[in-house]
Amino acid sequence: MPTLSPIAERAEALTAFFRDLHAHPELGFQETRTAARVAEALRAAGVDEIHEGIGGTGIVAVIRGKGQGNRRIGLRADMDALPIHEASGVDYASQNPGTMHACGHDGHTTMLLGAAEYLAATREFDGTAVLIFQPAEEGLGGARRMIDEGLFERFPVDEAYGLHNTPDGQVNRVGLTKGAAMAGAAFFDIAITGRGSHAAQPQHARDALVIAATLVGQLQTIVARNVPPLDTCVLSVTQSHAGTAYNVVPETATLAGTIRYFRPEVLELAESRMRTLCEGLALAYGVTIEVDIRNAFDVLMNDPDLSDAYLDAARDVVGADLVHDGDPPMTGSEDFADMLQVVPGAYLRLGHAGTVPLHNPGFVLDPGCLPVGASILARIVERRLPLREAA
Annotation: binding site: 103, 105, 138, 164, 359
Question: Annotated binding site for Mn(2+): which residue ranges?
Answer: 103, 105, 138, 164, 359
Residue 96 CB burial class (10 angstroms; 0-12, 13-18, ≥19) = middle
> How far, in Å, are 13, 232, 345, 357, 382 from residue 64 at the CA level?
24, 43, 20, 38, 12
Q: Distance of alpha carbon 275 from its chain centroid, rounded?
A: 28
The answer to whether the beta carbons of residues 182 and 333 sit under 8 Å apart is yes
- For 101-123, give the secondary structure using H, E and C: CCCCHHHHHHHHHHHHHHHHHHC
Q: Distance of alpha carbon 22 from its chain centroid, rounded?
A: 17
Question: SS3 of 385, please?
Answer: coil
The answer to whether the beta carbons of residues 259 and 222 sit under 8 Å apart is no
Largest CA distance in the chain: 92
CA gap 379, 45 in Å, rounded: 18
Produce one character per residue of 165-186: b if its CB has 16 or more CB atoms within 10 Å, e if not.
Answer: bbbbebbbbbbbbbebbbbbbb
The residues, any chain, with a CB within 8 Å of residue 69's CB and separated by 6 or more, are 126, 127, 385
**Strand intervals (E) in 21-70:** 49-54, 58-64
Mind giving me the DSSP string for 197-249? EETT-GGG-B-HHHHHHHHHHHHHHHHHHTS-TTS-EEEEEEEEEE-SSTTEE
